[in-house]
Amino acid sequence: MDELQEFDRYMAHLSEGLGHADRHAGLRGYCTGLMSPLQRKSVEPMAAYVDPQQVRSRHQSLHHFMADANWSDQEMLLRVAQGVVPLMDFGDGGWWIIDDTGFPKQGQHSVGVARQYCGMLGKQDNCQVAVSVSLACETASVPVAWQLYLPQQWAQDPVRRAKTGVPETVEFATKPAIALRQLQQLLAQGAPGHCVLADAGYGVDSAFREQLSDMGLRYVVGVTGSVTVWPPGHAPLPVQPYSGRGRVPKRQRLGEQPHQRPRSVRDVAFGLGPEHWSEIDWREGTNHTLRSRFARVRVSAAHRGHPRERQRPPEWLLIEWPEGHKEPMKYWLSTLPEDTPLQRMVYEAKMRWRIERDYQDLTQDLGLGHYEGRGWRGFHHHASLSIAAYGFLLGLRLRHPDEVAGKKNSAPGQEPALPTHYKPRGSSAHAAPRPIVDHELATAHRRSFGANAPALPVLPVLPARQRKT
pLDDT for the residue 435: 30
In tens, the pLDDT along 73-89 reads 999 999 999 999 999 99
E strand or H helix that includes residue 65: helix 55-67
Instruction: Select, from the ranges 52-66, 255-269, 297-311, 438-452, the one with the highest average predicted confidence (pLDDT).
Output: 52-66
pLDDT for the residue 259: 72
pLDDT for the residue 302: 87
Helix 376-399 × helix 73-84 angle, to 10°: 10
Buried b / exposed e along 35-48 (16+ C-beta atoms within 10 A): bbbbeebbbbbbbb
The domain locations on the chain are 3-71+400-447, 93-199+354-373, 203-234+258-351
On average, the pLDDT of the chain sits at: 85
Q: What is the Cα–Cα distance from 429 to 318, expressed in whole angstroms?
A: 55
pLDDT for the residue 285: 78
Give the lowest-confidence range in 152-161, 359-368, 373-382, 440-449.
440-449
Judged against a pLDDT cut of 90, whether residue 144 lies above it is answered with yes
Higher-confidence position of 11 and 304 = 11
Residues 321, 328: contact at Cβ < 8 Å? yes
E strand or H helix that includes residue 354: helix 353-364
Other Cβ atoms closer than 10 A to 207: 12
* Maximum pairwise Cα distance, the chain: 89
In tens, the pLDDT along 412-467 reads 333 334 444 444 443 334 333 333 233 556 555 565 554 444 444 444 444 444 44
pLDDT for the residue 448: 56
In tens, the pLDDT along 99-128 reads 999 999 988 899 999 999 888 888 889 999
Give the percent of the chain with pLDDT over 70: 81
DSSP 415: S
pLDDT for the residue 432: 34
pLDDT for the residue 63: 94
In tens, the pLDDT along 282-330 reads 988 778 889 999 999 999 998 765 555 567 899 999 999 999 999 999 9
Of the pLDDT bands very low, low, confident and very high (cuts 50, 70, 90), residue 2 is confident
Higher-confidence position of 153 and 302 = 153
Rg of the chain over CA atoms, in angstroms?
25
Residues 269, 295: contact at Cβ < 8 Å? yes
Judged against a pLDDT cut of 70, whether residue 344 lies above it is answered with yes
DSSP 33-54: HHTSS-S--SHHHHHHHH-TTS
